[in-house]
Amino acid sequence: MDHRGNDLDASPDLLGYHLGLVDPVERRGIEAAFAKPEALQAACDSLRALLAPLDADVSEPAPADLVDGVLRRVEQSHRTIPFVRAAAAEPAAVERGRGGGPLLSPRELVGLAAAILMFVGIFVPGYYTARGTARKIACANNLRLMGNGYAGYAESNASQWPFAGFAPANARWGSVGGQGQPALRNSRHIYPLVRGRFVPAAAFNCPGREGDMVFQPEDPMAYHDFPDPRYISYATNFLTGPWQQQTFLPNMPIAAGMTPLVDENRRLIRGRPVPANSQNHGRSGGQNVLYANLSVRFYTSPKAGVDHDDIYRLHGVRQYNGLERPRSRNDAFLIP
């Protein structure tokens, strides 16, 4: 199945890298996202070609009276205190600097303010874009570590993927605040990757998800699951039984950004609209997805499963109460 229609290509995220707006750590992260240096160079060349019309554009020089015009508009505003133009006489002592020269004139202040506004308008958006790109790359690297951990676990356990045991039929996978029903956390199936030291516990924390925490246990063997649900920022495929690596379709999603059906405490959202995508990366509008073939892609839509299946929702289900179960192996259902 071809996913290229849904995922974001890496090239648009190279703008901060291309403009030199990333720090050394972010730069290494972006370079590490490409398998070969040739692939990174090709992506940069494509971006350079895309920006070529901007480089070729020749801007007209600013009018000679630009500063005077801006100053005149400021003085005409009724919301500002008009500037008092200095007389030709010697400036007052309070207006003189340490070396005897005058401080900035109103005209120079306006020019300085305009320069600051221009700097903020150009470079601050680029900084936030570069930071968001670096976080998405770090998140993708986390999922790659998880995929390698799955593969290492299967190699050590006769091709079996980690499975913590069957859950009661009346167990809720999403907390709704009620009592009397056993809890079900899908993360217990993936924690053996931490216990067996196939994946570091810190890799389960997405840097783009606010409020989640990094799990740093002194002894991973002392736990059978993450002690706090906020220690894992990713939702994983609902396992109703033990699976072997070869039973998954290659394009079957096995992990992705946390499902939008739950809040930051992993409780089912009630009484308000639920976003379509994971909120791991805020307004970026998408999520990284790990597949059974251990590839990782960023999707702008939750329909990233087999035959465009919604990875966070089940076929035919509109309202969720935490008791839902997938009805087929091709219906991916990623939960906490």
What residue spans define the domains of the chain?
A: 146-335
Mean pLDDT of the chain: 79
- 29-50 per-position pLDDT tens digit: 777 777 777 888 888 887 777 7
Band (pLDDT 50/70/90 cuts) for residue 189 is: very high
Q: At what angle do helices 24-32 and 106-156 cross, to 10 degrees?
A: 40
pLDDT score, position 37: 79
pLDDT for 93-140, tens place per residue? 444 445 555 566 666 777 777 777 666 666 656 656 777 888 899 999
Model confidence at 7, in pLDDT bands (50, 70, 90)?
very low
Nearest alpha-carbon partner for 298 in 313, 284, 310: 284
Of how many residues is the chain composed?
Answer: 336
* pLDDT exceeds cutoff 70 at 54: no
* In the predicted structure, residue 80 carries a pLDDT above the cut 50: no
> 10 Å Cβ neighbour count for 22?
22
Q: If residue 76 lies in a helix (H) or strand (E), which one and from where to where?
A: helix 66-76
- Contact status, residue 292 vs residue 248, Cβ threshold 8 Å: yes
What stretches of the chain adopt beta strand conformation (E)?
A: 234-237, 253-257, 287-291, 296-299, 334-335
How many Cβ atoms are within 10 Å of 125's Cβ, its own excluded? 13
Asked if 336 and 262 touch (Cβ cutoff 8 Å), the reply is yes
- 71 — pLDDT class (breaks 50, 70, 90): low
Q: Where are the alpha helices (DSSP H) in the chain?
A: 15-19, 24-32, 37-56, 66-76, 106-156, 187-190, 192-195
Q: What is the chain's percent helix, strand, coil content, to nearest 5?
A: 40, 10, 50
Helices 106-156 and 66-76 pack at an angle, to 10 degrees, of 100
- Per-residue model confidence as pLDDT tens digits over 127-184: 567 778 888 999 999 999 999 999 999 999 988 999 988 878 788 887 755 555 667 8
Lowest mean pLDDT among 19-23, 248-252, 258-262, 268-272: 19-23
Hey, is 62 helix, strand or coil? coil
